[in-house]
C-alpha cells in the first residue's frame, strides 16, 4: 500500500486550507501558474503517462492536448464524480477527505486547456460530499484560489457543482453532458467527442475525480519522480475499492503492478472464515470475472489487456463459492437492464433477453441452444451498443462462460453446484 494521492485523506481536516498547504497542497498549482506555460503543463502530464481512472484508461495528457488544440473562446472542464459503478466508492474518499486536491487538479487542468468554467458532476446519492465540495469552493473563492485572477495571476476560472439524480448512465461522459444541459441523461453518438464538441457544443475536458487528484502530485513531484511509482506500462498508483468475502473491505491505494493475490491476502487480510474464493470481479459490475487460477494477475494495463480485460474503475469484488454463477450474472444483468437509457436497441433489448434466458438456467429449463443464444446476444451488445453501458453489460456473462462454462452446462443438465436454483444441489433434477 502507498499514500501518494491519498496522502492527505484522513490526516487533515478536509476544509482546512492551512492543513492542506502543510501537506504540500497548492505547490503543484503554484508551480504550474508561476513557472509553466499551459503547453508545458500538458507536456508534463503527458510525460507522466497518467491514464484516466474513470474506467476507459485514456491517456490524460493526450486528451488535454485535444481540448487545448481547439481554438474557441469558451471551453469547459468537468470533474466526473458520478461514481455509479457498483462496488466503487473510491472517489468519495478523495471528495470527502481532500476536496482541495481534486479542485486543485481541476484548476491546473483549466489553465492547461484554456477553460474559464468548470463543473463538478456529483451523484445525487452523495449529498454530504456535495455539501463539503460547495464549502470547499467557497473557501477557495475567499482565498483568491478560485475566481478572478487566481493566486494573483492573469487567469480566471470558477466551478459550479451539479448533481445527478441516480442514473448510472449519467457517469458516461456524453450522457453526463446532456444531464448538465438539462436534458434526459442519454449517451450521444460519437464522434464528435467532448474534446471537440462537448458541453453547450464547446470543447470540453471530462476527467474522473481520481485522475484530477493525481495532477497536483504530478506537478509537485515532476513526471519523472511520479513514474517511480507503478510499472513501465502503468505509471502511478490506483485507488481500489474492495468488497465481498475479504476480511478487510475498503478503499486502498496500491501501486500498479500489485497482483490480485497480494491485494486479497496482504492488503485485505485474506478471505472470510470458512469461505473459498470462486472468482474475482474486476472493475465493478461491468468488469470481468476471473477464476482463482488467475489471481497472480497484476493490476497493470498491459498485463490486463493480454487477458483482454480492463481495470475499469478499480473495484474488486471477491466472490466466494456459495454463489451460483448464472444467478449472480442474472442479478448483474438486472442492474444493467434497469439502468439502460433505452436509446439503442442492443442494450435496451439485449439485457432484457439475457435475463429471460438466465431465468431458464436458474429454473432448470435451459438448453444447449440457450447457451449459444446468450453468447450471440452478448456479442451483438458488445459490438453494436451505442455506449459503454451496453458494450460492457455482458462482460460478466462472457467471462463466466469462458472460465466457468461447466457451471452453465450443469444447469442445462439440471444441477446447481451450490443449490441456489430450482434444481437440487449437485444433482440433476431429471436424474
Ligand atoms: C455507463 C458508464 C458509466 C460511467 N461512469 C463513470 C463514473 O461514474 N465516473 C467516471 O469518472 N467515469 C465514468 N465513466 C467513464 C466516462 O465516460 C469517461 O470515460 C471518464 O469520466 C473520463 O475520465 P478519465 O479520462 O479521467 O477516466 C462511465 C462510462 C460509462 C460507459
- Tell me which residue of 133, 123, 145 sits closest to 97, measured CA to CA: 133
Cβ contact 325:400 at 8 Å: yes
In this structure, the strands spanning 315-320 and 277-282 are antiparallel
Q: What is the dihedral of CA 123, 126, 128, 132, to 10 degrees?
A: -40
Q: Which residue CA neighbors atom 6 of ligand 1 most closely?
A: 171
Q: Within 13 Å of residue 26, how many CA atoms lie on the same side as its CB? A: 16
R_g (Cα) of the chain, nearest Å: 23
Instruction: Quote the crossing angle between the two packed helices 127-142 and 99-113, to the nearest 10°.
Output: 60
Fold of 17-226: Rossmann fold (3.40.50)
Say how far apart CA 316 and CA 271 lie, in whole Å: 13
Fold of 325-412: de novo design (two linked rop proteins) (1.20.1440)
DSSP states of 358-375? HHHHHTT---HHHHHHHH
Block means of pLDDT (10 residues each) for the chain, 431 residues, are 96 98 98 98 98 97 98 97 98 98 98 98 97 98 98 97 96 98 97 98 98 98 98 97 98 98 98 94 98 98 95 97 97 98 98 98 97 98 98 98 97 92 63 41
What pLDDT is recorded for position 429?
47
Tell me the CA end-to-end span of the chain in Å, nearest whole number: 51
What pLDDT is recorded for position 422?
81
Tell whether pTM > 0.75.
yes
Say how far apart CA 169 and CA 300 lie, in whole Å: 26
C-alpha cell read off for 246: 475479504
- Tell me how far CA of residue 393 lies from CA of 126, 284, 305, in angstroms: 24, 11, 18
80 C-alpha vs ligand 1 centroid, how far in Å?
7
Instruction: Quote the crossing angle between the two packed helices 99-113 and 90-97, to the nearest 10°.
Output: 100
Residues of the chain with CATH 1.20.1440.230: 325-412
Q: Which residues on neighbouring strands pair with residue 129, listed in sequence order? A: none
Say how far apart CA 319 and CA 361 lie, in whole Å: 20
Q: Convert 55-84 to b/e letters by CB count within 10 Å (16 or more is b).
A: bebeebbebbbbbbebeeeebbbbbbbbbb
What pLDDT is recorded for position 223?
98
Cβ contact 85:285 at 8 Å: yes
C-alpha cell read off for 380: 451483438
388 C-alpha vs ligand 1 centroid, how far in Å?
9
Say how far apart CA 140 and CA 150 lie, in whole Å: 10
What pLDDT is recorded for position 388?
98
C-alpha cell read off for 281: 470481479
Cβ contact 268:249 at 8 Å: yes
173 C-alpha vs ligand 1 centroid, how far in Å?
6
Fold of 237-320: Ubiquitin-like (UB roll) (3.10.20)
224 C-alpha vs ligand 1 centroid, how far in Å?
27
The number of helix segments (H) and strand segments (E) in the chain equals: 18, 9
Residues of the chain with CATH 3.40.50.11540: 17-226
What pLDDT is recorded for position 430?
46
Task: For residue 53, give the ligand 1 atom closest to its CA.
Answer: 27
Cβ contact 392:340 at 8 Å: no
Give the residues surrounding ligand 1 with Cβ less than 6 Å away.
Answer: 52-56, 58, 80, 82-85, 168-169, 171-173, 206-208, 211, 387-389
DSSP states of 95-149? HHH-HHHHHHHHHHHHHHHT-SEEEEEE-TT-HHHHHHHHHHHHHHHHTTSSBSS
Say how far apart CA 342 and CA 347 lie, in whole Å: 7
286 C-alpha vs ligand 1 centroid, how far in Å?
12
C-alpha cell read off for 345: 436497441
Coil, helix or strand at residue 399: helix
Question: In what side-by-side order are the strands of the sheet with 250-255?
Answer: 250-255, 237-244, 315-320, 277-282, 288-291
Cβ contact 161:171 at 8 Å: no
Amino acid at each position: 500500500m502507498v499514500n501518494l494521492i491519498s496522502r492527505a485523506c484522513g490526516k487533515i481536516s478536509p476544509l482546512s486550507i492551512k492543513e492542506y498547504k502543510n501537506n504540500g497542497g497548492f505547490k503543484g498549482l503554484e508551480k504550474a501558474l508561476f513557472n509553466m506555460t499551459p503547453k508545458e503543463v500538458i507536456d508534463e502530464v503527458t510525460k507522466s503517462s497518467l491514464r484516466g481512472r474513470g474506467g476507459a484508461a485514456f491517456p490524460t495528457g493526450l486528451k488535454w492536448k485535444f481540448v487545448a488544440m481547439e481554438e474557441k473562446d469558451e471551453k469547459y472542464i468537468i470533474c466526473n464524480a458520478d461514481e455509479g459503478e457498483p462496488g466503487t466508492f473510491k472517489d468519495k474518499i478523495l471528495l470527502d477527505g481532500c476536496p482541495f486536491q481534486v479542485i486543485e487538479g481541476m484548476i491546473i487542468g483549466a489553465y492547461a486547456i484554456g477553460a474559464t468554467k468548470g463543473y463538478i458532476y456529483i451523484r445525487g446519492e452523495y449529498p454530504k460530499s456535495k455539501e463539503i465540495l460547495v464549502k470547499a469552493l467557497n473557501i477557495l473563492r475567499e482565498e483568491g484560489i478560485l475566481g478572478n485572477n487566481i493566486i494573483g495571476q492573469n487567469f480566471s476560472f470558477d466551478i459550479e457543482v451539479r448533481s445527478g439524480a441516480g442514473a448510472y448512465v449519467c457517469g458516461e461522459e456524453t450522457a453526463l453532458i446532456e444531464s448538465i444541459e438539462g436534458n434526459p441523461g442519454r449517451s450521444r453518438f460519437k464522434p464528435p467527442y467532448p474534446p471537440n464538441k462537448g458541453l453547450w457544443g464547446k470543447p470540453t475536458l471530462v476527467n474522473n475525480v481520481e485522475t484530477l487528484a493525481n495532477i497536483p502530485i504530478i506537478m509537485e513531484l515532476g513526471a519523472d519522480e511520479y513514474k517511480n511509482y507503478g510499472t513501465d506500462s502503468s505509471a502511478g498508483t490506483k485507488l481500489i475499492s474492495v468488497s465481498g468475502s475479504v476480511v478487510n473491505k475498503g478503499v486502498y491505494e496500491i501501486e500498479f503492478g500489485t497482483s490480485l493475490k497480494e491485494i486479497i491476502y496482504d492488503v485485505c487480510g485474506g478471505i472470510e472464515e470458512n469461505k473459498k474464493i470462486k472468482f474475482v470481479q474486476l472493475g465493478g459490475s461491468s468488469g470481468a470475472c476471473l477464476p482463482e487460477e488467475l489471481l497472480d494477475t497484476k493490476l497493470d494495463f498491459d498485463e490486463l489487456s493480454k487477458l483482454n480485460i480492463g481495470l475499469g474503475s478499480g473495484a474488486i469484488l471477491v466472490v466466494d463459492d456459495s454463489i451460483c454463477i448464472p444467478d449472480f450474472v442474472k442479478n448483474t444483468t438486472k442492474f444493467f437492464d434497469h439502468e439502460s437509457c433505452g436509446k439503442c436497441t442492443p442494450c435496451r433489448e439485449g439485457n432484457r433477453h439475457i435475463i429471460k434466458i438466465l431465468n431458464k438456467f436458474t429454473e432448470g429449463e435451459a438448453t444447449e441452444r440457450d447457451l449459444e443464444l446468450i453468447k450471440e446476444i452478448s456479442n451483438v451488445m458488445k459490438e453494436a451498443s451505442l455506449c459503454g453501458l451496453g458494450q460492457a453489460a455482458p462482460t460478466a456473462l462472457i467471462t463466466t462462460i469462458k472460465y466457468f462454462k461447466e457451471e452453465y452446462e450443469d444447469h442445462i443438465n439440471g444441477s446447481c453446484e451450490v443449490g441456489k436454483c430450482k434444481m437440487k444441489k449437485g444433482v440433476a433434477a431429471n436424474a
